[in-house]
Amino acid sequence: SPTLGILGGGQLAQMLALAALPLGVKVRVLEPDPQAPARLCAEHLQAPYTDPVGLDALAECDAVTLEFENVPVGALDALRGRVPVRPGAELLARSKHRAREKHALREAGAQTAPFVEIAAPSDLEGALERVGGRGILKTSELGYDGKGQVRVASQEELGRGWAELGQVPCILEGFVAFEREVSLAVARTPDGRVAFGPLVENVHRNGILRTSVYPAHSPDGTEARAREMARAVAEGWGLEGLLTLEFFQLPGGELLVNEVAPRVHNSGHLTQDGGGVSQFEAQVRAVLGLPLTDWSPLLPCAMVNDVGVEGATPDWAAVDTLPGTRVHLYHKAHRPGRKLGHVNLVAPDEPTLRERLRQLELLIP
């Protein structure tokens, strides 16, 4: 039976491992945190990502994948030539750096928001005008869940915002007045087979994903266009494994790629309970070169994130008794703003889903 190595042992690794086990696949995670979620369901190599002993143990696996994009370059270098890492180092280098990522997206033929790179004080001059007068300043690296971002609408705010972010390399992105946000995952096997996940509609709150809903309506071939872009990125970037594209859809229907995650994505968690193959199983299959076709829920479904809120917890008893819910917890200590778990919801039809989602949202602060 194959063994899959995973760099990182957070909740995504936990859920990858839970999807891998029934396929006859064993899982090893390399993760420095002794309390990391995936330690409970996978062999835990508790060591820094650059630890030679941990990396040797990963190198014995049939393939290595990852659950976060900020894997230290040293770890990837140490594994090079010893075990396939999927996605590979070159793709990771692109997707973890916002400016490089946007350039590479445009090269693959995808559209993005206008942006300017900010690396020196002189870059601030005229930057706001060039992106349309209003924007979001984002650190080029390491941001997630809206961290490392400041909204700016004047030259003064831009200067102050950059100082707040520590004057590290940033991009200033034009503010996009989108109609809605959608996402789509694409997987590609090492021998070049491509498969797609469902188009999902997402709502964020304070920069953190709050809900995802399937199906996302697809006027004017939205889903087909999203797939076309996903295929272009997967093939253009030589994807091995799975990646997820986040899109802004403009009022006219046009799709801009916001960013790419080189892995399963929070917006795809609903595929765990809608029937059919989940995004986690899809990543495992793609990385190991197993049979894989398009995956999509069989029923309307939704997901609500449980994000830590000071002094408040979800009404779990009520969540459990609401029809169609399934709770997924990450075994993480409560902290405000931290993703602690999610609840998937499934319903026989869309009106029922909407009504249950309305009720579910009231139970999760």
For the bound state, the minimum distance from the C-beta of residue 133 to ligand ATP, rounded and expressed in Å, comes to 13
181 binds ligand ATP (CB under 6 A): yes
Residue nearer to ligand ATP on the CB measure, 193 or 332: 332
For the bound state, the minimum distance from the C-beta of residue 190 to Mg ion, rounded and expressed in Å, comes to 26
For the bound state, the minimum distance from the C-beta of residue 335 to ligand ATP, rounded and expressed in Å, comes to 16
204 binds ligand ATP (CB under 6 A): yes
258 binds ligand ATP (CB under 6 A): yes
207 binds ligand ATP (CB under 6 A): yes
Tokens 């143990």 sit at which residue? 57
Cα angle: 106, vertex 255, 186; to 5 degrees: 75
For the bound state, the minimum distance from the C-beta of residue 177 to Mg ion, rounded and expressed in Å, comes to 17
Instruction: Report whether 149 belongs to an annotated binding site.
Output: yes
Residue 175 interacts, among ligand ATP, Mg ion, none and using kind-specific CB cut-offs from 5 to 8 Å, with: ligand ATP
Candidate ranges 74-82, 142-150, 217-225, 301-309; the one touching ligand ATP (CB under 6 A): 142-150
Considering only residues 220 to 279 of the shown chain, the ones binding Mg ion according to CB under 5 A are 246, 259
Candidate ranges 168-176, 278-286, 314-322, 327-335; the one touching ligand ATP (CB under 6 A): 168-176
Angstrom distances, CA of residue 48 to CA of 54, 96, 200, 204: 8, 19, 35, 32
Alpha-carbon distance of 66 to 355, in angstroms, equals 36
Candidate ranges 62-70, 145-153, 162-170, 236-244; the one touching ligand ATP (CB under 6 A): 145-153
Name the site residues for Mg ion (rule: CB under 5 A).
246, 259
Binding site for ligand ATP (CB under 6 A): 113, 136, 138, 143-147, 173, 175-176, 181, 204, 207, 246, 258-259
Q: Which residues are annotated as a binding site for ATP?
A: 98, 138, 143-149, 173-176, 181, 204, 258-259
Q: Which residues are annotated as a binding site?
A: 98, 138, 143-149, 173-176, 181, 204, 258-259
